[in-house]
Amino acid sequence: MPKSFLSKLTGSFSEGAAENPTVAMVEAAYRHHGLDYRYINCEVPPEKLGDAVKGARAMGWAGFNLSIPHKVNVIPFLDGLGESAAVMGAVNCAVSRNGKLIGENTDGKGFLQSLREIIDPTGKSVVMFGAGGAARAIGVELALAGAKHITIVNRDQKRGQTLVDLLNGKTPARTELTLWRGPYRIAADTEVVVNATSIGLYPDVNARLDIDLGSLGKGLVVADVIPNPPRTNLIKDAEARGCKTLDGLGMLVNQGVIGVKYWTGVDVDPNIMKRKLEEIFST
């Protein structure tokens, strides 16, 4: 084979791109597996998003991630949506398939993949804190995976109700809203607890969820979406009470693994990506 000097292209479109470490994580996997792909991190303002997608099409990109603020607004520029992205109405990963750009959402899928390493969500009762983008992605995947009951706990009534209506209307799960007013007591029949708020994210590392810690029962699965730092107060408190825990680094790594599989067809080693992120977050 003559050497090719033309790599396949992937990347990310967002605002605030300089703070996003995904490029380092994905390129570490490309290098480790000898994949002739590049990942280009692009700063794209909202009014240029259509042009950016057109550019990616013109250059034959294999696909790209979408981050804040493009996850919803990219949809009109794509040719179709995967199942969960259609239910969520949000895309974080576009994939070129047979000349068409299809929108997927890997945030919730990455979470689900991590969760399945310790528990199958089918038939389970879940309490999830938060109702923003991460909660929406996780809620839809949990519901499509067969979670029986999901309690959404959120401060803002409107945001919480919007997510409850979406899950009740478009998935088989039964979902209800509890407004977050004072320490929340987790019901004894709960099997999985998810923090999908931004509480505990760097630099606010001492923040704690307002929950009754005594209600974190032994054996409960407690998952946090916060990737930085991975050992949040919630994870530490839950461990101290004998819960099984899952940190946000696993979700971040797994959504990357799923995205790379969509673009290249290759299952990359999650440990390579995890190590790269740990290296970045520890400096």
Q: Closer CB to ligand NDP, residue 57 or residue 161? A: 161
Q: Closer CB to ligand NDP, residue 36 or residue 204? A: 204
Q: Closer CB to ligand NDP, residue 62 or residue 196? A: 196
Q: Closer CB to ligand NDP, residue 105 or residue 190? A: 105
Per-residue DSSP letters for 212-273? -GGG--TT-EEEE---SSSS-HHHHHHHHTT-EEE-HHHHHHHHHHHHHHHHHS----HHHH
Q: Can you state the angle between helices 22-32 and 270-281, rounded to 10 degrees?
A: 140
Shortest gap between Cβ of 237 and ligand NDP (angstroms)? 16
Shortest gap between Cβ of 36 and ligand NDP (angstroms)? 26
Matching residue, tokens 């990616």: 56
Shortest gap between Cβ of 28 and ligand NDP (angstroms)? 16
- Cβ pair 7, 60 in contact under 8 A: no
Report the residue count for the chain: 283
The residue from 8, 71, 124, 236 that is catalytic is: 71
Q: Which residue is nearest to ligand NDP (CB)?
A: 132
Give first-to-last CA distance, the chain, whole Å: 41
Which residues of this protein are in contact with ligand NDP, per CB under 6 A?
Answer: 107, 110, 130-135, 154-156, 159, 180, 197-199, 201, 225-227, 248, 251-252, 255
Q: Closer CB to ligand NDP, residue 38 or residue 159? A: 159
Q: Can you state the angle between helices 248-264 and 106-116, rounded to 10 degrees?
A: 120
Shortest gap between Cβ of 123 and ligand NDP (angstroms)? 25
Give the residue among 264, 252, 257, 278 at the shortest CA–CA distance from 111: 252
Work out the angle at residue 190's Cα, subtended by the Cα atoms of residues 186 and 196, and round it to the nearest 5 degrees: 70
- Residues 115 and 204: their CA atoms lie apart, in Å, by 25
Q: Closer CB to ligand NDP, residue 101 or residue 252? A: 252
Shortest gap between Cβ of 112 and ligand NDP (angstroms)? 12
- Tell me which H or E stretch contains 53: helix 49-58
Residue 71 among the catalytic residues? yes
- Residues 222 and 233: their CA atoms lie apart, in Å, by 12
Shortest gap between Cβ of 209 and ligand NDP (angstroms)? 8
Q: How many helices, marked H, and strands, marked E, lie in the chain?
A: 9, 12
Residues classed as catalytic = 71
